Structure 1
C-alpha cells in the first residue's frame, strides 16, 4: 500500500511540471548593422532582449562587414537592439523565434546621434562588449547583468559562449574550453567547473575575456579557446565599502547578499569580499532509451521522467593585500575560498515498453543525495616595472586545496503493473570524496620595444595530486567492495614560452612557441591498476593580420593546442549513474 501511494504521488509530482528540457533544439539569429548612409558599422553591440522583462539574453558584436550572429537561443519572443558610439540605439519589432529556427538577414539601421550642446561633460563609461586585437571583453562590472545572477548565467550572454544545463562551457560550438579565474587555470573537471560557475555571484565579476586564439603565454590546454573571468578589485583611495542584497523570483526564489570593504593609502591596498547566495534550482527531464534486438533479445524501450528540487547555499570569500613602492614594485598577497552545498530531492520513473508497444514493467528511483565542497586558494606575486613603456618582470606562487565530500543515496525498485517486486532493489548509498592539492609557480618577462612591437617570455611549473576514495555501503550498512573505489593521480607540468608581436602600417604579425613537459602517474588501488606517462610537446602559434581599410580586416591564424583529460577520464573504475548507466575511464 505504501508503494502504491508513493508511486501515485510521484506521478502527480512529475505531471505538474511544465518545463521539460529534452528535445528542445536551439535557434539562431544573424544579420547586419548599417548607418543611415548605408555604410556598415563594425564593432557595434547587438543585444538579444527578452520581451517579458527586457532582460539581456545574449549578445554579439559586428565584424568588419557589419555582420553578427547569435546562437544557442531558446524558443521565445525577443527584441534585438544595436548600439554604437555616436549613433542612436535601435530596436527591432518583437521576434517570435520557434524551436530550432535559424533567422537570417536581419537589418538594423542606426541614425547618427546629433545633439546641440551648450556645454560638454566628458564621462568615461565602458561598453558592455569591447573588441580588442586579441580578445573580446565583456564588462560585467556596473552593468545590469551583474545583478542577481551567477557566473554561468552571465557567460550565457557572452558572444559565442554556450553553457548547458549542467554548467559545461562551450565556445564557438566547441566544448574543449580552458576556464581561467584571474588568469589562473581552475584544474577541475567539467562538472566541478560547472558547479563553481553556478555558485559564483555575478556581482564579484569585473569582466570576462574571450580568447579564441590564445598566444604562447597561455597554457596549451583548451582546443576551443580560453575564457578568463576577472574578479573585482577595489581602487578608490581611503576607506570605502558597499553592501549588496538581491532577490529574484522565477519558478523558485533566489537571493544573494554580501559586503565589500576596501582601504587604499600610501601604496597600501587591502580588500575583503564576502557573499552568501541561495538558489532553489529544479531539474525536470524526459528521456527515451531504445534497445535494439540483440542476441535473440526483443526490442525494449525505456520512457523515463525525472524531477528534482535542489536548494543550494554558497559562501564566497576573498581578501587581497597589495603594497606598491617607488611606483615600480608591487607585492601582492591574496586568499580566497568558496563553500558550496546542494541537497538533491527527487527521482525518476521509468516505464518499460516491449517490442509490441505494451507497458511491461515499472522502475521507480528515489534520490536524496548531497553535494558539498570547499575550494581554498592562496598566493603571492611580485611585479617589477622596468620602464614607463610597459617592460616588466613578475614572479608568482599559488596554492590550491579542493575538498569535495559528496554523498550519493538512491534506491531503485523494480515492480510489475500490479506493483509487485520483480527483482531486488538496486541501492547506491555512498560517500564520494575528492581531494585536490595544487602548487603553481611562474615567472614572466615582457619587453615593449615600441608601441607596436612587444616580446614576452616565461617559465611555469605545476604540481597536482588528487585522491578519490569512494565508499559504497549495502542496505545493511556494511562496505560494498564491488562498488567502492580508491584512485590516486599525480601530474607535473613544466613549461617555457616565447612570443613576439609586431606591426608595420597595415600588416600585423604574432609568432610564438610554447614547450610543455608533462609527467603523470595514476594508481587505481581497488583493482591494482596503474599507468604513467612522460612526454614533451611543442605548441606553435602564428597570427597574421592585414587591415585593408577602416571597415575591412583580414586575419589568418594557426595554433596547436591540447585537450588534457581530467582524472575521472583516466580512472578505469566503473561509476554508477543509475541501475542502467555506468561510466568508466580509459587510461
Structure 2
C-alpha cells in the first residue's frame, strides 16, 4: 500500500523510536496489546505504522508495523493507560479509545479503520532505500530493484551475483556448492529443467525484477523439491491506485550488441485491479570452448584438441496480464495469464586436431553446425483468497494450466582430413530435430488458522499432473538421400502425477519461537520410449515420501539470537534426463538420458547466529543419498555424457554475512561461504571417494555520492572445487556501475560494466579411469550497458501477488542456452 522507500523510512523511524524508549527508565514489561487495521474497503492494511501513546500526554512509547494480514502486536507494555494511533501514506491517521494495561494481561484493541486522505503532501521527499543484501530469519534477500548493477542484465546474470550462488558452464545453478536448486518466480515453482530454466532466465529482463530470495531450508509448506534450497525471484509489482507503471530501456555492447526494454502497467478502479507487463530482449552472445582429450583406444594413445566457436542470437518476448476483483470485503478472485516466446539461432564451428604426441597433427576434423531453437510457453492461473476473520484465518486456492511447445533442430556437416589436407574419409551430413510438448495442470489449497495469540496452524494440499511428448528424429545422407538413423530416433512420452499434503504448526513465547511441519508427497510416473521399429521400453514408478521440518529460534538477549533448522528434501530427475536415446553434440561427443535414474534425497541441518540483528553466521550440514551427477564415459574415441546416481554427497558449510558502514557515503556488504563437498560411490562402473574444501564470496560496495547519484562496485570470487568427477578451477570478476536520478526521482539513468577486467571464465579437468580431459570455456562477460527507467502514476494500492501452484513441475522442463 506504499512505496518500498516509505516502508524503509518507517523501519528507520521504528528503530529510532526503540532507541528513545530504551533510554527511558521504565519498570519491567507487564502486558501485551494486539489488534488489526483495515482500509475503507475492509481489506487488511499491510505495513501500517501502529504507535503506542501515553493517554495523559500523547508521548510515544513504542511503535510497530502491521503484517500482510493487517495484524499487529506490541509486547512488553508497562502498566498504564494508552491510546493506539494507526497511520499509512495516503490515508488519514486514526486513533483508538483509551486502553488499560495491567500486569500479565493481553489486551485486544477494536479494529482500526483508515480512511483516504483528502489532501496530498507536496513538500515531503522520501529518500530511504533498502540495502542491496538483507538477512532475514529464514532467508537472504538481494534487493535488485534499485541496484546499479541489475540494470540491463538478464535474470541469469543477476543471479550469478547473488550470495552463495554459482552457475557452471552448462548453466546448472548451485547454492553453497550444491546443485539441486529449486527456482521460483513470485513464489511459484517454474517446473523447468536446468537447461530450460536457463533459457527463461536469459530471456527475463533484469529491470522487471524486484528482489531475489535465497531460502536454504524451506518449511513443509513449500514443495519438497530442491536439495540445496529455494531461490525465489520476485518480479516488480505496481503499487499505485488509478493508472500507473514504469518503463525501462537498455542498450549495451561487449563483443556484440545487447538491447532490452520493459513496460509495467497497473490500473485500479473500484473493486477491479488490472495489471500487466511486457519485456523484450535482443542480443548476440559469443562462446568459445576448448576440449582437450587424451584417449586410449586398443592400447594406442591419441590426443584430441577440440576448439568450438559459437555465435548465438536471442530474441525473447515475455508477457503477463492479470486482474483481481474484490467479490466482497474478505473475498478476492484473481486471474492471470503469463508466457514467453524465445528464439535462439546459432552458428558454430568445431575444429579438432588429432595427434599421437600433442605435437605432430595426423588428422583434422571440422564440424559446421546450424542450430535453431524455439521456445513457447503460455500459462493460466485462477486464484481465490478468502479472509475468514480478523484474527488471521485465511483460505487460498490456485488452479493452474501450463503448455510448453519447444523445438530444436541441428544440421551438422562433418569433414575429415589428413594433416596435409587430403580427405581422410567421406564427409558426413547429419540433421536432427526434437519437437517437444509439455502440459502441466495443478491445483493447490492452503489454509491458515491462528489458534491463539501465539499459536498458528497451517495446512494444505496440492495435486499436479504432467504429460510430456518428445519426438527425436535423426537423419543422415546416404546416396544423396536423407535416411533415418534408427539408433538415434525415438518417441518418448512421460507422465507424472504428484499428490501432496502438509501440516505446519508454529508457537511463540517471549524469546523462543518454534515451527514444525510434515509434508507427504506420493509420486506416480511412467516413461514410455519407442524406437522406429516400435520397440518399447516402459519405466513405471510409484512411491510415497515424507518430508519433516523443524525450526527453532531463540533470542539470547537484545543483541544475540540463535536458530536451529532441519528439513528433508527431494530432487526428481528432469523429464529429458530419463530419455535413453542419444543426442549428438559434435563428431566425437554425445549425450544420453538414463531411464533408471532415481530421485535423490537430502537431509539438511543449519545452526545460525545473529549479532545485533545485523551480522549473521550459519553452520550447515547435509547428506544426499543417490545423488544425481553428470558422468562422462569414454567409448572408443567418443565421449558419452549421461547422468547417474552416486551413493552419497556430503556437504559442510559456513556462511558469514557482514555489512559495514565505512563512512556516511560508503557501505560494504560482505558475504562469504566456506564449504566441503564430498562424493562416494562404489559400483562396477565407478569407484569414487573424493572431496575438497572450497569457498566463494562477494563484497558489494555502495557509494552515495550525492542525493541523486549512487555508485556500486562488486568483487566476486569462487575458489577451486571438486564436484563428482569434475575438478573446477577458481574464477573471479569485478563489476561496477553508477546511477543518476532526476525529474523528482521519477527518472533514472544507469551506466554499468560487468566483469570489468574480463576475467570470468571456466576451466575444469577430469582424471578418472580412462577419462582424461580438460575443458576451457569463455563466454562474453564484459559488457557495458546504459539503462533509462521512468516511473509514472500514483502510490496507494499495489496489485496482489499471485501464487501459482504449477511451479515445481515447470522447474524440470528442458530448455536451451
**Deviation, structure 1 residue 419:** 1.5
Name whichever of 469-478 and 183-192 sits farther off.
469-478
Match of 1:549 in 2: 557
Aligned to 1:570: 578
Does 1:229 find its partner at 2:200?
no
Q: Deviations over 1:282-317 (max 9, x none)?
A: 1112221111x35x4211111111111111100111
Aligned to 2:403: 401
The structure 1 residue matched to 2:211, chosen from 207, 210, 216, is 207
Contact 1:341 1:371 in 2 (8 A): yes
Larger-gyration structure (1/2): 2
What is the DSSP-based 3-state SS (H/G/I as helix, E as strand, rest coil) of the residue aligned with 2:202? helix
The match for 2:155 is 151
Cα gap change, 1:142/1:322 in structure 2, threshold over 3 Å: closer, same or farther?
Answer: farther
Query: Aligned in 2, Cα 1:121/1:430: closer, same or farther, shift over 3 Å?
Result: closer
- Aligned pairs (5 A) from 1:479-494: 479-494=484-499
1:496 alignment partner, SS class: strand
Partners of 1:230 and 1:356 lie apart in 2 by 51
Paired residues, number:
467
Against the structure 1 CA distance between its residues 313 and 584, is the aligned structure 2 distance closer, same or farther, given a 3 Å change threshold? same
- Residues 120/200 of structure 1: CA separation in 2 closer, same or farther (3 Å cut): closer
Determine the C-alpha separation between the residues in 1 that align with 2:441 and 2:259: 34
1:244 aligns with 2:248: yes
The alpha-carbon distance between structure 1 residues 538 and 209, as it changes in their structure 2 partners (threshold 3 A), is same
- 1:140 corresponds in structure 2 to 144
Q: Is the 1:491–1:520 contact (alpha carbons within 8 Å) kept by the matching residues of 2? A: yes
Alignment of 1:44-443 (within 5 A): 123-291=127-295, 293-294=296-297, 296-355=298-357, 357-443=359-445
3-state SS in 2 of match to 1:495 = strand
Q: Distance in 2 between matches of 1:133 and 1:477?
A: 61
* 1:74 equivalent in structure 2: none
Alignment of 1:501-540 (within 5 A): 501-526=506-531, 527-540=535-548
Match of 2:27 in 1: none
1:123 is displaced (CA, Å) by 4.8
Deviation at 1:450, TM superposition (A): 5.2
CA contact (8 A) 2:211 2:233 kept: yes
What residue in structure 1 maps to residue 482 of structure 2?
477
TM-score by length of 1: 0.76
Unaligned runs of 5+ in 2: 1-122, 596-817
Structure 1 alignment gaps of length 5 or more: 1-118
Larger relative contact order (CA 8 Å, sep ≥ 6): 2
SS of the residue 1:530 aligns to: strand
Q: For residues 402 and 540 of structure 2, what CA distance do their matches in structure 1 show?
A: 24
Q: Secondary structure at the match of 1:562?
A: strand
- 1:172 & 1:156 partners in 2: Cα distance? 12
Q: Distance in 2 between matches of 1:373 and 1:324?
A: 35
SS in 1 for 2:245: strand
CA contact (8 A) 1:369 1:410 kept: no
Deviations 1:310-369 (A, max 9, x none): 111001111011112443111110001101111111221111121474321111111111
- Whole-Å separation in 1 of the counterparts to 2:499 and 2:391: 30
1:119-147 C-alpha deviation (Å, 9 max, x unpaired): 99765532222222111222222333442
RMSD of aligned Cα (Å): 1.9
Q: Is the 8 A contact 1:312 1:342 kept in 2?
A: yes
Distance 1:389 1:417 in 2: 81
Tell me if structure 1 keeps the 8 A contact 2:377–2:402.
yes
Q: Secondary structure of the equivalent of 1:344?
A: strand
Please say which of residues 206-215 and 131-140 is displaced more in the overlay.
131-140
Cα deviation, 1:391-447, whole Å, max 9, x if unaligned, reads 210010011001101111122211111112222334331211111000010000112
Rate the CA distance shift 1:120–1:183 in 2: closer, same or farther, 3 A: closer
Question: CA, structure 1 residues 578+132, in 2 after alignment: closer, same or farther (shift >3 Å)?
Answer: same
